[in-house]
Every structure is written in structure tokens, then in C-alpha cells.
Amino acid sequence: MRPLTNEEIQKELNDFPRLGLNYSAKKRIAASLERIDSPIVKKKKLFPAALSFAVLALLFIGISTFVINSISGNGLFFGLGSAPAEKFSIDPMDKFTIERIADDEVEFYVDGKKAGGIEIMTEAEMHKNIAKQNLFENNVLPGFQYPVRWTLDHQKTMEAVQIRHYFFLSEKSKLRYHVYFYSQRINDRDAEKIVRTFRINE
């Protein structure tokens, strides 16, 4: 087969069908390119990135707050006072601050003075505690989330005059959670409201 001459190649190329765009097709393509480059499209592309950044920032702030509170020993998070390892929690309702004393014990403070606390004890230790009290009242209270024994203790010491004791029973561990308030620092009405927020986290 002989090779084509230049003239024959040119003729073949000229006879090859060509596709062209009419005016309306060109306008549609131009409009599409303008939309892609528009500020609205750019904003849509930036929105997911901004949202991801905001979520990461909130997560970082939350973790930082938790770590700082854990190191400070206050054991407070989102308005709740929590014991070490979250064994129990209570809402102080801005009436006192909570300080960690031991693994199973926290104390309440008002203006730097002790106002009560929470401690975990056995049933036998609860009876020893009650035996040392100057009892004015001693009842089993209904209407709480856990079985609770309540005592009103008249101490009349420099630290406390009256102490309201709540001994909550964990039906799972059979331990008693002793929540107590000094009446001269936290009044009886506030103590009643706050103690109803007490939760055992087992």
C-alpha cells in the first residue's frame, strides 16, 4: 500500500466531520463557569471546613475543662459535684464548693468554712456514726431514689450546731452514702433540695 501524499492527507482532514457549538450552548457553558467561581459556591465549600473546626474547638475546650477540674481536685463538671471516679454526684446549686478529701469522701465549704460532706461507709459504720450523735430525730424517709435513713443531730460545737444526716443505701453494693449538712451554713430548705439531686454512680 502506497503512502498518502500531503495533498491527499489535507483532503482527508478537510472531509473529516467537525462539531461546533451554537450560541446558546456557549452561553450555558459560560454561565456554568461563572456559577462555579461565584462567592456563594465558595462559601458552600468553606462551610464544612468551618463546621469541622468549630466541632474540634468545642471538643478541645470540653476535654481541657475536664482535665483542669480533675487536676484541681474540685471534681466539678457541668454544675455537678462529682466524687473521685464519679462514684457519686450532687448538685451544690451554687450554695457551696466541693473539695476532695479521700477516694471515697468529699467536703462542702461555704466561705472557706466546712458546711458538710459526703462519705461512703458500711452499715456497721453508719450505726457507729449514729451512736455518737445527739439525736433529735431519727427516721426512714420515703420519696427518695434510694432507701435513706435520716437523722437530725444536735452537736452545739464551734463547728456545727445542728447536722442533717442522710444515709443512702446502695442496693447494689450494700454500702451507705452519708450526705450531711451543717444547718448554720446551709439552711434546711436548701439542704432538702440539694440532697434530692444526689446520685450513686455504680
Per-residue pLDDT of the chain (202 residues; tens, 9 = 90+): 667 677 776 777 676 666 666 677 667 777 776 766 555 555 555 666 666 767 676 666 666 555 444 444 444 433 344 444 579 999 999 999 999 998 899 999 999 999 999 999 999 999 999 999 999 999 999 999 999 999 999 987 777 789 999 999 999 999 999 999 999 999 999 999 999 999 998 7
Can you give the pTM of this predicted structure?
Answer: 0.59
CA distance 196 to 91: 9
At residue 43, the pLDDT reads 57
CA pseudo-torsion sign 51, 55, 56, 57: positive
Of residues 95, 96, 105, the one with CA closest to residue 73 = 105
The SS3 of residue 97 is: strand
CA distance 80 to 118: 14
Question: Would you say 12 and 4 are in contact if contact means Cβ atoms under 8 Å apart?
Answer: yes
What does the angle CA 49 – CA 50 – CA 54 come to, to the nearest 5 degrees? 120
The SS3 of residue 152 is: strand
Of residues 68, 69, 75, the one with CA closest to residue 92 = 75
DSSP 89: E
